Amino acid sequence: MAGVASVEQQTTQFRTEFSRLRDEVGKMIVGHRDVVDGVLICLFGGGHALLEGVPGLGKTLLIRTLSQALSLDFSRIQFTPDLMPADIIGTNIITEDPATGRRHFEFQRGPLFAQMLLADEINRATPKTQSALLEAMQEHTVTSGGVKHPLKEPFLVLATQNPIEQEGTYPLPEAQLDRFFFKLVVGYSDRDELKTILDRTTTGYKPDIQPVLSGERILAGQELVKRVIIAPHVQDYAIRLVLATHPNGAFATPMVNRYVRWGASPRGAQAITLAAKIHALLDGRYNVSFDDISKTVLPALRHRLLLNFEGEAEGLSTDSVLNDLLGQVPAAAEKAA
């Protein structure tokens, strides 16, 4: 019984810490509950988030506010076309030993060596510079001059990009998109939210954002998430949803066969599963449900599907394909005859 009580206590503590973090961010950010929760799910899922939205919707402000609510090393990089890989990861410089006068190379760390990295307008940098993030995002290490440098845990990349003003931008390659745990779409605020924004930003309102969570507690939360139980038939639902995105596959839907060129990778299934476990914990459960799985499909897979020419010509979005897929793939698999 002690073990059960311990699990219940950990689950309660996780929900409390998640809620405190959400409330702290809410002192500055108005609305966008799904986006805020999505970023926090990436944090506890051990993944990275890509936020997409038109200028002025608070993407950068959300990330900066979250950095204030966490006791983590924070760094911001403004991506521009002239940004070079060495500007991100660092470079080897020649230094001289004052005692002996001997010169040697010493690695000067770049802004990538932080626990929480804001990659602002990431699609404005060249593919060469974008690729400098790949190793760090996947392996949490940086290699320079043949030497591998580990990054301090937890490590989280939060990137923003603008869906308009495409001139002078470089679309993220599929390999890099696949390394993002979630892609979150930031929409416009409604009437009441806009009023609150004006009340806060055009007056003397100064929120006091306090750090409420340490790196150690985040790592503990990540370990708790991994221990959440997922039954084989629920896990199979996540697997079938991912396989259904593969054109001409055994589980592909008619819409996928017609409009999709490439489907989601195994990373998509990993993101769905971990995010579903977090949803279960937030609901006070230590086991994953079918509903937990379906809640995570859009943010986990929307950036992992590549439409074909016909899909792009008809102006479809990957969200529309995934919504159709959710309606077509049954939660309970049919038994073999």
CATH of the domain at 219: 3.40.50.300
Out of 204, 227, 250, pick the residue that ends a domain. 227
Those residues whose C-beta lies under 8 Å from the C-beta of residue 14, and which sit 6 or more positions away, are 44, 221, 224, 281, 282
DSSP structure class, residue 152: P
Domain shared by 5 and 44, yes or no? yes
> What's the confidence (pLDDT) of residue 197?
84
Q: Is residue 300 domain-shared with residue 204, that is, in the same domain?
A: no
Please tell me whether residues 251 and 222 are part of one structural domain: no
Same domain, 72 and 210: yes
Region 30-38: mean pLDDT is 87
State the pLDDT at residue 2: 43
Q: Is the pLDDT of residue 96 over 80?
A: no
Arithmetic mean of pLDDT, 68-80: 87
Residue 89 domain flag: no
Sign of the Cα torsion 197, 199, 204, 206 reads negative
For residue 73, the enclosing domain spans 1-80+114-227
Quick: pLDDT tens for 267-278. 999 999 999 999
Structural domain count of the chain: 2
pLDDT digits (tens, 9 = 90+) for 2-26: 445 478 888 888 999 999 999 888 8
146 and 168 belong to one structural domain: yes
* Beta strands 116-120 and 156-161, pairing class: parallel
187 in the same domain as 39: yes
Q: What is the pLDDT of residue 147?
A: 79
Residue 127 falls inside a structural domain = yes
In a domain, 97, yes or no: no
The residue-averaged pLDDT of 58-63 equals 82
- Looking at the structure, do residues 215 and 254 belong to the same domain, yes or no? no
Rounded CA-CA distance 30/198 in Å is 10
According to DSSP, the β-strands at 156-161 and 49-52 are parallel
Q: Is the pTM of this model over 0.85?
A: yes
Are 62 and 160 members of one domain?
A: yes
